[in-house]
A and B are shown apart, each in its own frame.
Chain A
Amino acid sequence: MKDDLSEYSDAALAVGIARYRQEALAEAYRRHAGAVYGLARRLLMVENLAEEVVQEVFLRLWNQPDRYDPARGSLRSFLLAQTHGRAVDMLRSEGARKQREEREARVTAEAGYDMELEVWDMATAERVRSSLAALPEGERAAIELAYFSGLTYREVARELEEPEGTVKSRIRSGLKRLRGELVAAGITTGGER
Chain B
Amino acid sequence: MTPGRDDLDELLGAYALDAVDAQERQRVEEYLAHNPRARAEVEQHREVATMLSYTGAPAPEGLWDRIAEALDDRAPAPEPGPELAKVMPMSPRVTADPVPAPPAAAPSLAPRSVRRTRRSWTGVIGAAAAVVVALLSWRLVDVNRQLADARAHGVGLEKAIENLQQDSTTRRADLLSTDGRQAAHAYVAVDGTGYLDGKALVVLDPDHTYQLWGVVQGPAGQQVISLGVLGRQFDVAPFVVRQGTLLKLVLTEEARGGVPVSSQPAALAGDLI
Q: Given A11-B238, A70-B143, is A22 in contact with B50 using a C-beta cutoff of 8 Å?
A: no
Q: A15 contacts which of B66, B70, B106, B239 (Cβ < 8 Å)?
A: B239
Nearest A residue to B16 via CB reads A175
Q: Would you call B242 an interface residue if the criterion is a C-beta within 8 Å of the partner chain's C-beta atoms?
A: yes
Once the chains bind, are B59 and A37 in contact (CB under 8 Å)? yes
What residues of A have a CB within 8 angstroms of the CB of B139 in the complex? Answer: 18-19
Instruction: Say how far B62's CB is from chain A's closest CB, in angstroms.
Output: 9
Once the chains bind, are B141 and A15 in contact (CB under 8 Å)? yes
What residues of B have a CB within 8 angstroms of the CB of A147 in the complex? Answer: 17, 19, 49, 52
Once the chains bind, are B155 and A73 in contact (CB under 8 Å)? no
Chain A, residues 80-97, CB within 8 Å of chain B (1/0): the string is 110011001000000000
Task: Report the interface size class on chain B.
Answer: 35 or more
Q: Would you call A39 an interface residue if the criterion is a C-beta within 8 Å of the partner chain's C-beta atoms?
A: yes
Instruction: Say how far B269's CB is from chain A's closest CB, in angstroms.
Output: 22
Chain B, residues 8-31, CB within 8 Å of chain A (1/0): the string is 011111101111110000000000
Q: Given A152-B14, A153-B19, A190-B44, is A124 in contact with B70 using a C-beta cutoff of 8 Å?
A: no
Once the chains bind, are B49 and A26 in contact (CB under 8 Å)? no
Q: A47 contacts which of B60, B106, B154, B239 (Cβ < 8 Å)?
A: B60
Instruction: Say how far B196's CB is from chain A's closest CB, in angstroms.
Output: 12
Q: A54 contacts which of B16, B45, B63 (Cβ < 8 Å)?
A: B63
Instruction: Say how far B29's CB is from chain A's closest CB, in angstroms.
Output: 12
Instruction: Say how far A87's CB is from chain B's closest CB, in angstroms.
Output: 9
Once the chains bind, are A189 and B64 in contact (CB under 8 Å)? no
Interface of A is mostly: helix
Task: Report the interface size class on chain A.
Answer: 35 or more
Q: Would you call B177 an interface residue if the criterion is a C-beta within 8 Å of the partner chain's C-beta atoms?
A: no
Q: A189 contacts which of B17, B21, B44, B83 (Cβ < 8 Å)?
A: B44
Q: State A119–B58 Cα separation when bound (angstroms).
A: 9
Once the chains bind, are A168 and B14 in contact (CB under 8 Å)? yes
What residues of A have a CB within 8 angstroms of the CB of B114 in the complex? Answer: 20
What residues of A have a CB within 8 angstroms of the CB of B118 in the complex? Answer: 20
Once the chains bind, are A59 and B55 in contact (CB under 8 Å)? no
List B residues 142-186 near A (Cβ within 8 Å).
142-147, 150, 152-157, 160
Q: Given A37-B59, A178-B48, is A55 in contact with B67 using a C-beta cutoff of 8 Å?
A: yes
What residues of A have a CB within 8 angstroms of the CB of B193 in the complex? Answer: 8-9, 11-12
Nearest B residue to A63 via CB reads B115
Once the chains bind, are A4 and B103 in contact (CB under 8 Å)? yes
Q: Given A23-B100, A55-B70, A175-B49, is A18 in contact with B60 using a C-beta cutoff of 8 Å?
A: no
Given contact pairs A23-B99, A171-B17, enumerate 16 new A-B contacts (beta carbons under 8 Å).
Answer: A16-B240, A20-B83, A22-B71, A23-B100, A29-B67, A39-B53, A55-B67, A69-B142, A69-B146, A71-B153, A73-B46, A80-B53, A81-B46, A118-B58, A148-B52, A172-B45
